[in-house]
Amino acid sequence: MKRLLAIAFSSMALAGFADAFTVTDVSARQRWPWNGLVDVDFTIAGASVADLFKVEVEAAYDGGTKKLYARTYLEEPLRGPGFNRITWDLAADYPELKVDDLQVAVTVTPLSRASLDAQNVYMVIDLSSGPNSTRYPVRYTTTAPTLVPTNDLVACAADPNRTTKLWLKRVKANTFPFGGTNSNSGEGDFKVSLSPYYIGVFELTQKQWALVMDTWPSVFSNDIYRAARPVSNINNDEIIGHNNWPENRVMADGSYVAKMRARTGLATFSLPTEAQWECASRAGSAVTTQISKSTGRCADYVSTSGVNTYNEGPEVGTALVGSYNANAWGLYDMFGNVMEMCLDAHDTVDNLKTLYGWNAETREPIQDPIGPGVNATARYHATRGGSYGNSAGFCASHRRDYNSRSETGTKRASIGFRVAVSPEWN
């Protein structure tokens, strides 16, 4: 009987399609009468961040007797939960069409999680409408961003994929060893399992901060390059607005995360937890990954001619994002550039094991840990990945650090962050 039950449960898990969902609030509008673009708005409700949908548009006119099928879209027709817009190039498909009673429909088909796991999936948030905008459009694609190479520094600093567009990559469900040491390859301090989530392809840049917050807080402010350098010199108050995660999961009005949530509709947009950061850093490797050597400074290992390698002179400091090699999952600058702040607080391994109920005998992975909040033993926010100024030993996936100034809200020129969109927290 146990076997039968096990088969039943595993069948459910393997099926791996989206939860029950609905499609509501469909409306259509021709964008401009002279170019034939039709915006179709709709909402997908009841789905998880882990889900993705293929969208098709059809239409009918003459009382429904004549049918049209969209073949040309402005963007890849993939969409996620929440408010969505897909733009149909009507003029490309039906160049002479002129009717007064066009009924438009969308058909939304969930993609299996297995198929999503088998390919690269990106979420792209368009910030170009700036700090006064009420909505940043979100789209999805299976094509990686095309990047301006960092050997053309001025062009790289204006690269829209580093400035006006915020790219996140989907990370499939994963089990990995958390923490540990260089020598305990494959073991870690304990095991963690994560549900699918999205994490920034780059560290958040100064332009991507300014387009939301309308401020340029970073110390490294040379205005020729600053747009594509990572934002830093910001504190937790500005990022999430309070120091009370995870008890308070509503980010305070006016904070970066609160504004992004309101303008994207992504209710779990935030920073990665420490576990999510480490999973992304390991990129599927059980053995800790690290910058190539264990001597010198992180910034000695910039892979390309980033503007601000750690040399003497006025340009000491951060490099343009993407100056350090991408890891196996295509995530840049996981080691070096700025130290990356995480959502949760830093605590000792023993305290984390107690908090999560780690069983040393069964070694069952801990599912989706969201970390401790700031408390008597976990006083500071966790940071990961090392910065331009750290020794290379900081630049390793297992290495756990913290921002010792986070308690007071003091800022550091060497600490920034990357963003994440998590599954719904329980």
Q: Does residue 164 bind other proteins (CB under 8 A)?
A: no
Q: Does 101 bind other proteins (CB under 8 A)?
A: yes
Rule CB under 8 A: is residue 360 a binding residue for other proteins? Answer: no
Considering only 100, 253, 312, 361, the residue that binds other proteins (CB under 8 A) is 100
Window contacting other proteins (CB under 8 A); options: 11-19, 117-125, 338-346, 381-389: 11-19
In sequence order, what are the residues at sequence separation of 6 or more whose Cβ sits closer than 8 angstroms to the Cβ of residue 200? 166, 167, 168, 169, 331, 418, 419, 420
Would you call 334 helix, strand, or coil by DSSP?
coil
Q: Largest Cα–Cα distance in the chain?
A: 74
* CA–CA gap between residue 418 and residue 257 (Å, rounded): 11
Q: What is the DSSP letter of 298?
A: G
In degrees, to the nearest 5, what angle opens at C-alpha 248 toward C-alphas 244 and 254?
A: 85
Smallest separation, CB 8 to other proteins (Å):
5
Contact status: 10 vs other proteins (CB under 8 A): no
Q: Which residues sit opposite 401 in a β-bridge? A: 383
Q: Which of 52, 70, 104, 231 binds other proteins (CB under 8 A)?
A: 104
Q: How far is the CB of 305 from other proteins (least distance, A)?
A: 28
Backbone angles phi, psi at 191, to 5 degrees: -100, 150
Indicate whether 166 belongs to the interface with other proteins (CB under 8 A): no
Note whether 311 binds other proteins by CB under 8 A.
no
Matching residue, tokens 């650090």 = 401
Stretch that binds other proteins, among 28-36, 242-250, 256-264, 381-389 (CB under 8 A): 28-36
The answer to whether 227 touches 159, Cβ cutoff 8 Å, is no
Q: Which of 87, 232, 337, 397 binds other proteins (CB under 8 A)?
A: 87
Number of other CB atoms surrounding residue 18 within 10 Å: 20
Residue choice 77, 110, 385, 416 for contact with other proteins (CB under 8 A): 110
What's the min distance (Å) between Cβ of 44 and other proteins?
A: 9
- Strands ordered across the beta sheet of 174-178: 174-178, 190-194, 366-367
Q: Is 72 in the site for other proteins (CB under 8 A)?
A: no
* Binding map of other proteins across residues 132-161, x = CB under 8 A, - = no contact: ---x-x------------------------
Tokens matching residue 253: 């009005």
- Do β-strands 165-171 and 122-126 pair in parallel, antiparallel, or remain unpaired? antiparallel
Q: What single letter denotes the amino acid at residue 113?
A: R
Distance CA(81)–CA(76), nearest Å, equals 16
Instruction: Determine if 106 is a binding residue for other proteins (CB under 8 A).
Output: yes
Residue number, 41 or 300, with CB nearest to other proteins? 41
Stretch 117-136: interaction string toward other proteins, x if CB under 8 A: ------------x-----x-
**Rule CB under 8 A: which residues touch other proteins?**
1, 4-5, 8-9, 11-12, 15, 17-24, 26-36, 38-40, 42, 61, 85, 87, 90-91, 94-110, 112, 129, 135, 137
